[in-house]
Amino acid sequence: MKDTMKAMVLGRFGGTDAFELRDVPVPDVGPRQVRVRVHATAVNPLDYQIRRGDYVDYVPLPAIIGHDISGVIEEVGSHVTEFGVGDAVYYTPRIFGGAGSYAEQHVADVDLVGRKPENLSHLEAASLTLVGGTVWEAFVTRAQLAVGETILIHGGAGGVGTIAIQVAKAIGARVITTARADDHAFVRSLGADEAIDFTSEDYVDAVSTITRGRGVNVVFDTIGGDTLTRSPLVLADAGRVVSLVDIAQPQNLIDAWGRNASYHFVFTRQNRGKLDALTGLVERGLVKPVLGATLPLARMGDAHELLENGGAYALRGKVAIDVAGQALALPARFQERLLSGDAAARS
């Protein structure tokens, strides 16, 4: 009989109650694959977008989703030479390409897997793979952000933004970021040089004031909406826009011509090279993941609710999942919300 493991399974598309903790078979290991004991995973907006049904054509149900893993190798395929049993690794599973990370074990193609940074816990390492790989691809591979340039990073207090600020500073750029006023001291502590309150200020005016009308070299779009249309208004000549957000509405890019602007659209690709580059930055103390909350695997629904409504709960950084244990650390506002929910359920 096949061994089984616990997994949070998405049985239907819907609300945060759509997950169910089930016993499922442990997957087999192919010749160029490794089987990993998952110590930690993390939650990304892609996860709740999948859960609520934004990607029905890409995710057959029932599904194990999840896009970050840190853990320890328990079995290697016959053609794996670069890792062995007992090695600590971290990676993003292939997106839309099989089982995800919400499970006690995971089998991955070895080419996706990187050595876990030694100075990070599994929770911290799991919180870095998808957002870190995305930021690396956006800044280094695509926008080619350079020393001395200025970048506008939207959403600096979020999962992507907290890493983006640190990587941009490691590259040697000047960072302007948007965040709620309550988060300004926090984003500055990560290295941001300037912070704009997106709830009360127009970032086009604010960037013009901060840069004395010169504009920025790169805009990093993590928010969508009309950012593609408005970015030329904050760009210097030959500026670049890198966007992570797929927007269904047509965008008017007429102002981009006057700026000689270029646009890059990133849907993150998984590979070991990006993880190794990030490991270098982490082990030199230049980048550190920010854990905004930690929950056990069985509370995945709560983890989704927290990330989906992060602003309401003053969430900063990532929501991590302790797969191998029961760690629980929550923003105070979310804890209050859970306690009041429990009280309502009891009355």
Ligand X SMILES: NC(=O)c1ccc[n+]([C@@H]2O[C@H](COP(=O)([O-])OP(=O)(O)OC[C@H]3O[C@@H](n4cnc5c(N)ncnc54)[C@H](OP(=O)(O)O)[C@@H]3O)[C@@H](O)[C@H]2O)c1
Q: Which of 204, 274, 297 is nearest to 5 (CA)?
A: 297
Beta bridge partners of 103: 7
Q: Which residue has the tokens 């007992």?
A: 86
Q: Does 244 bind ligand X (CB under 6 A)?
A: yes
Q: How far apart are CB 245 and ligand X at their closest, in Å?
A: 5
Q: Which of 27, 159, 191, 289 binds ligand X (CB under 6 A)?
A: 159
- Contacting residue, 70, 105, 222, 279, with ligand X by CB under 6 A: 222
Shortest approach of ligand X to residue 84 CB, angstroms? 31
Does the protein bind ligand X through residue 66 (CB under 6 A)? no
What's the CA gap between 76 and 63, in Å, rounded?
24
Work out whether 134 is an interface residue with ligand X (CB under 6 A): yes
Q: Of the two residues 33 and 92, which places its CB atom closer to ligand X in the complex?
A: 92
Sequence-separated (6 or more) residues with CB below 8 Å from residue 138: 164, 220, 242, 244, 264, 266
| E strand residue ranges, the chain | 4-10, 19-25, 33-43, 69-76, 88-91, 105-109, 114-115, 150-153, 174-179, 194-197, 216-221, 235-243, 262-265, 291-296, 318-322
Q: Which of 66, 100, 161, 232 binds ligand X (CB under 6 A)?
A: 161
Using CB under 6 A, which of the segments 22-30, 40-48, 208-216, 275-283 binds ligand X? 40-48
Burial zone of 241 (CB within 10 Å; 0-12 exposed, 13-18 middle, 19+ buried): buried
By CB under 6 A, which span of 78-86, 157-165, 279-287, 334-342 interacts with ligand X?
157-165
Q: Which is nearer to ligand X, 23 or 205 (CB)?
A: 205
User: Residue with the closest Cβ to ligand X?
Assistant: 158
Binding site for ligand X (CB under 6 A): 44-46, 130-131, 134, 154-155, 157-161, 178, 180, 198, 222-223, 244-245, 266-268, 307, 310-311, 315
